[in-house]
């Protein structure tokens, strides 16, 4: 990732130029990088993880399964790990729930 000053002779720039360079900004810092076309092979394992992640997000957002007080615990549990309580919850949710396991098991912060 390359930082740029005055990209394309302007204050800011974003988007792709000639299907080669992509101009954008991250946390207010403009940068330019080569254009990357993401792959999406849609394998069975990838689809399984996406389903598990979707279920994890749904359970975290459901106040009946993860109350606000528990979310505070997740934030505390994630301190110093470089992630939010939500990220830590999803990470453990995916690790806890293997492929095609139902119903979903909600992890507890320890």
In terms of Cα–Cα distance, which of 88, 85, 91 is closest to 49?
91
Residue 22 neighbours by CB under 8 Å, 6+ apart: 15, 16, 32, 33, 34, 35, 36
**pLDDT top residue among 76 and 23:** 76
Mean pLDDT of the residues in the chain: 79
Give the C-alpha separation, 22 to 8, whole Å: 12
In terms of Cα–Cα distance, which of 65, 66, 67, 84 is closest to 75?
84
At 37, is the pLDDT very low, low, confident or very high (cuts 50, 70, 90)? Answer: confident
pLDDT at 5 over 80: no
**pLDDT top residue among 85 and 12:** 85
- Tell me the per-residue pLDDT of 44-80, one tens digit each, with 9 for 90 and over: 878 888 888 899 999 999 888 888 888 889 899 888 8
């Amino acid at each position: 990732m390359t930082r740029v000053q005055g990209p394309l002779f302007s204050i800011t720039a974003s988007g792709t130029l000639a299907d080669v360079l992509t101009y954008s900004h991250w946390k207010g810092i403009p940068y330019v990088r080569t254009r990357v076309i993401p792959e999406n092979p849609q394998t069975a394992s990838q689809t399984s993880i996406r389903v598990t992640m979707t279920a994890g997000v749904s359970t975290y957002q459901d106040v009946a399964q993860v109350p606000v007080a528990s979310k505070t615990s997740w934030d505390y549990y994630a301190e110093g790990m470089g992630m939010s309580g939500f990220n830590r919850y999803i990470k453990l949710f995916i690790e806890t729930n293997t492929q095609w396991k139902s119903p979903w098991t909600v992890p507890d912060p320890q």
